[in-house]
Amino acid sequence: MTILGTGSSGNCLYLETGKARLLIDAGFSARQIRQRMASIGRDPDGLDAIVVTHEHSDHAGGIRVLTSKTETPVYCNRFTKEALDYQTRKPLNYRVFETGGAFDVGDVTIQSFSVPHDASDPVGFIVYTPDGNLGYITDLGCATRLVLERLRAANVLIVETNHDTGMLQRDLRRPWSLKQRIMSRHGHLSNDAAAGILEQVMSDELRQVFLGHLSKDCNRPELALETVGEQLRRMGAEHVKLDVSTQVSVSETLNFSVEPNSIA
């Protein structure tokens, strides 16, 4: 797994197993995604699927151009498809899944679940691979009981730490109405909220957490790491490796079949 980038202006994750190569979200330009994949020796033309959480441009903005020649299957639910149809004005090679349902891509099973966020029908995923389970939640205002239940199966978890609440409140560029939206139950998770989720989904099987979708203005990687790291220490969760991913650079590739603490 490689996080090609994550943040308020673009999200894209590459996952490869023995029998599947897929992207979760494609929210950078097609050109950026191609360049970022090239940096790990991969090519979007070889993809089996693009799996989409919701239609916001920082998750879906690159899909139309990226699939224009290859017609890579685009997996999303019905309302997200309708929103994408409206945005792209071009029929894509859709594979529509039911929200809450599961589907297979090669040797991978992807279970979707509803998350509260201000989009048509936003979802998170838990991806079951032969070597371990990946939980993926970005863009949610809060974690429902269903979200927590699903994430307990994760060995690797990508969770949004969008903002530091104090920095968001002090920010001068955003009008109050937008701050309200971000902080609402259908907005985005703060560093503290993400820490609270980890407290509830912790298990012996969880090995690695990546913090993502950081706001450029209202968060800093050090702050997110400090807040969530403090929570992990309080819980004695020393077996969990913690990292932060940003939108400027491609993360290190994580091999699920290798123990995280044995990676330098």
Binding residues for Zn ion, rule: CB under 5 A, are: 56, 58, 139
Copy the structure tokens of residue 14: 């590459």
Q: How far is the CB of 82 from Zn ion (least distance, A)?
A: 16
Q: What CA–CA distance (Å, rounded) separates 29 from 179?
A: 27
For the four alpha carbons of 161, 162, 165 and 166, in that order, the dihedral sign comes to positive
Task: Cite the beta strand spans of the chain per DSSP E.
Answer: 2-7, 10-16, 21-26, 49-51, 74-76, 94-96, 102-105, 108-114, 123-129, 132-137, 156-160, 208-212, 241-244
The residue among 182 and 198 lying less far from Zn ion, judged by its C-beta, is: 182
Q: How far is the CB of 197 from Zn ion (least distance, A)?
A: 17
The residue among 16 and 139 lying less far from Zn ion, judged by its C-beta, is: 139
The residue among 212 and 229 lying less far from Zn ion, judged by its C-beta, is: 212
> Which amino acid is present at 82?
E
Q: How far is the CB of 192 from Zn ion (least distance, A)?
A: 19
The residue among 74 and 189 lying less far from Zn ion, judged by its C-beta, is: 189
Q: How far is the CB of 213 from Zn ion (least distance, A)?
A: 6
The residue among 187 and 229 lying less far from Zn ion, judged by its C-beta, is: 187
Separate counts of helices (H) and strands (E) for the chain: 9, 13
Who's near 82: CB < 8 A, 6+ residues apart? Answer: 120
Q: How far is the CB of 246 from Zn ion (least distance, A)?
A: 14
